Amino acid sequence: MRPLLAALALAASLALPAMAVEPNERLADPVLEARARTLSKGLRCMVCQNESIDESGADLARDVRLKLRERLTAGDSDAAAMQFIVARYGKFVLLNPPVEPATYVLWFSPVVILGLAGTGIALTIRRQRRAAAAAAPLDPAEQTRLAALMQESDS
């Protein structure tokens, strides 16, 4: 039974993501279809949010795919078709949002967090090294007292 489960798990992990573009959505012109597929891979499904509209089976993703293909068939350039979709659904529809003041937190917060964490670690290590260096060896009187305390605790 275990080999069968292992084989199924391996098959599932190697399976390629299924593309949700249905045959009736595809354009007859292969060049236009390739453009549509490329553009749709950069657009977020507003329902799933972790998938592009090219991968999503949601009804809204299908509507956006159809609208994108409609715009390309009408003669829009890639940029014009994308601008139409962004104007209609907002910048959140882009899987890779542009770097602009509204998205600075999104783009730069990981770098800032890593920098703060690195600084905190460096300061902690520095403090520990200073504390270890500042610890002076015991003088003879302290060594005698320590030895006496150790003997008391043993008995």
Q: Residues 90, 109: one domain?
A: no
Query: Does 91 lie in the same domain as 29?
Result: yes
Q: Look up residue 111 and give its amino acid.
A: V
Q: Is residue 41 part of a domain?
A: yes
Per the prediction, the chain carries an average pLDDT of: 83
Instruction: Tell me the pLDDT tens digit for each residue of 30-63.
Output: 888 888 889 888 898 888 878 888 888 888 888 8
**109 and 93 fall within a common domain:** no
Per-residue model confidence (pLDDT) at position 124? 96
**Full residue range of the structural domain in which residue 91 is found:** 16-97
Both 42 and 111 in one domain: the answer is no
pTM: 0.58
47 and 20 in a common domain: yes
Residue (of 36, 71, 32, 33) closest to 52 by Cα position: 36
3-7, 57-61, 126-130: the lowest-pLDDT one: 3-7
Longest dimension (CA), the chain: 95
- Counted domains in the chain: 2
Buried b / exposed e across 129-150, counting CB within 10 Å, b at 16+? eeeeeeeeeeeeeeeeeeeeee
Same domain, 21 and 70: yes
114 and 88 share one domain: no
Find out whether 35 and 80 touch, Cβ atoms under 8 Å: no
Residues 33, 93, single domain; the answer is yes
Domain assignment present for 7: no
Nearest 5°: phi and psi at 47?
A: -90, -50
Q: How far apart, in whole angstroms, are the C-alpha atoms of residue 116 and residue 122?
A: 10
69 and 129 in a single domain? The answer is no
Q: 52 with 32, same domain? A: yes
